[in-house]
Structure 1
Amino acid sequence: MGKINNPILLFEKWYDKELNLTKVRIPTAVCLSTIGIDNFPNARFVSFKEIINDSFIITGPLNSRKGIEIKNNSKVSLTFWWTETERQVRIQGIATEIKVELAEKYFDTRNINSKAVSLICEQGKEVDDLKLLEDKIQNRVAENKKIEKPKNWSGFSIKPIRIEFMEFKKTRFHDRKLYELKNDKWNIKQIQP
C-alpha cells in the first residue's frame, strides 16, 4: 500500500480498482453499523452512493431502525469488504441527514419497484399479511404513475473521523494503515496485522 496522505483519495483509488474487477451484483454494498436504542450494536448492508465534500453518502427511510438509531446517536461506522482485491476499509464517523434536494436526486434514480416499496412499506415493521402488502406494491407499480419521494425517505452524509485500510496478504501479515482526523489534519499510523 503506497503512502497517500489523503484517505479519501486512497479510498477512491481502491474503490475504482474493485469496481473494475468485481463480478458481484451489488458492488456498492457496505455494512452500516449503528448504536441501537437498547445500546446493542446493529449492522446491516446498505448501498453506498458517492462521496460528497469528503463524506460518504447512504440513503434510506428515516423511520427505519437505522434512521431512528442515527437520529438518537450520530456515531456510525461503515465497513467495506472487497473480494477481488482482498481489501477492507473501516470508517468511523458522524452522520447527518442530507438535504431534501439531494435525497430527491437519489430517489429519482431508483427503479419503479424500489420507489413503490419505499412509498408503501415501513421498513423493519411487523406485517400481518405479506401477500396483501406485495399486492399493494404491485398495484402501485401497475398504475405506472410517477412516485414522488416520501417525506420519510432521505439519506445520511457520514463525515469520517477515522478510516482504516487493510490489505490482506497470504502470509497473514496484513498491511494496515489508520488515518485519524485531528485538528482538521489526517494523521497516519501503520498498525500491526
Structure 2
Amino acid sequence: MKIDIRNIRREYLRGGLARKNLSDNPFIQFQKWLEEAIDANVNEPTAVIVGTVSEDGKPSTRCVLLKELRDDKFVFYTNYESRKGKQLTGSPYISLTFLWHELERQVHVEGIATKVPPEVSDDYYKTRPYKSRIGARISPQSRPISGRMKIMLAFIRESIRLAGKEVKRPENWGGYAVTPTRIEFWQGRESRLHDRFLYTLQNDQSWKIERLAP
C-alpha cells in the first residue's frame, strides 16, 4: 500500500462511562444510548452488524437495520432463505454489534435468534415503502444472478402484476427476535483505556454487571 495505515489512529475524548451512571437493566441502557445516537444525528444509528455461524462452524457477518425493541428482544427483518437465514436455521446463536463512531461508542450483543410470529412480520411489512415491498418479493437474496438487468426486469414485472393490488408479504421474508444473554457497553477513552461494562444474564433472569479491562 502507498499509505502507511499503521499510524492511522485517533484519541477518544468525548467522555467516559461510570458504573453509577448505568441502568441495572441493559435494555433501558441500550434505549438511552440509541436515543442519544439518534439525537446526535449519527450516520445510520440503527445499523447493526449481525454475526452468524455456518454448518462447519465458520462465522460470517453483514449489516442490517434494527427495526424494533420488543419484549426485551432486538428485532430485525430479512429473507429467511438468505445466507444468514439459512445459517440461523442451522444454529440460532447470533451476535449483534452497534457502532456509533460520532459518540465513540459500541454495543455488543450475544444471544439466540427466533422468528417473530407471522402477524408481527405482516404488520411491519405493511409499513415498508412500496418499492421495498416489491423488492422483498422478487429478490433471491444471497444467490448468484446473471446481472443487474435480471433483477430489474423481475422488479418491473412484479410491479406491473401487482399494480392496484395489495402487496402481501412473501412467506420467505420476515423478522428475527434476538434474546440476549450477554450485552457489553463500550465507551472510548483516552490512551485506549476504554470503559467496558458487561451485562450477563443469570439463571434467575437477573443481570450481573461487571467492568472489563480495556
Greater RCO, 1 or 2 (C-alpha within 8 Å, sep 6+) = 2
Matched AA of 1:5? D
Which ranges in structure 1 are unaligned for 5 or more consecutive residues? none
Q: Select the residue among 8, 11, 23 that pairs with 2:27.
A: 8
Residues 169-180 of structure 1 mapped to structure 2, 5 A cutoff: 169-180=189-200
Q: What's the offset of the Cα at 1:23? A: 4.2
Residues 9-158 of structure 1 mapped to structure 2, 5 A cutoff: 9-24=28-43, 26-142=44-160, 143=163, 145-158=165-178
Q: What's the offset of the Cα at 1:83? A: 1.8
- Correspondence for 2:207: 186
Distance 1:48 1:130 in 2: 27
More displaced stretch, 139-148 vs 77-86: 139-148
RMSD across aligned positions (CA): 1.3
Question: TM-score normalised to the size of structure 2?
Answer: 0.86
Q: In 2, are the aligned partners of 1:118 and 1:153 still within 8 Å (CA)?
A: yes
Q: In 2, are the aligned partners of 1:98 and 1:154 still within 8 Å (CA)?
A: yes
Distance 1:127 1:3 in 2: 48
Distance 2:63 2:164 in 1: 29
Matched AA of 1:38? D
CA deviation digits over 1:144-174, x for unaligned, max 9? 5331000111111100000000000133110
Distance 1:64 1:133 in 2: 16
* Structure with the higher strand share, 1 or 2: 1
Q: In 1, are the aligned partners of 2:138 and 2:155 still within 8 Å (CA)?
A: yes
The DSSP-based 3-state class of the residue aligned with 1:171 is: helix
- Work out whether 1:160 is the aligned partner of 2:175: no
Matched AA of 1:4? S
The DSSP-based 3-state class of the residue aligned with 1:15 is: helix
Q: What stretches of structure 1 move > 4 A for 4+ residues in a row? A: none
Distance 1:86 1:122 in 2: 36
Which ranges in structure 2 are unaligned for 5 or more consecutive residues? 1-16
Q: In 2, are the aligned partners of 1:180 and 1:187 still within 8 Å (CA)?
A: yes
Aligned residue-pair number: 192
Which structure's CA Rg is the greater one?
A: 2
Q: In 1, are the aligned partners of 2:34 and 2:45 still within 8 Å (CA)?
A: no
Distance 1:38 1:22 in 2: 40
Matched AA of 2:208? N
Q: In 2, are the aligned partners of 1:112 and 1:141 still within 8 Å (CA)?
A: no
Q: In 2, are the aligned partners of 1:62 and 1:154 still within 8 Å (CA)?
A: yes
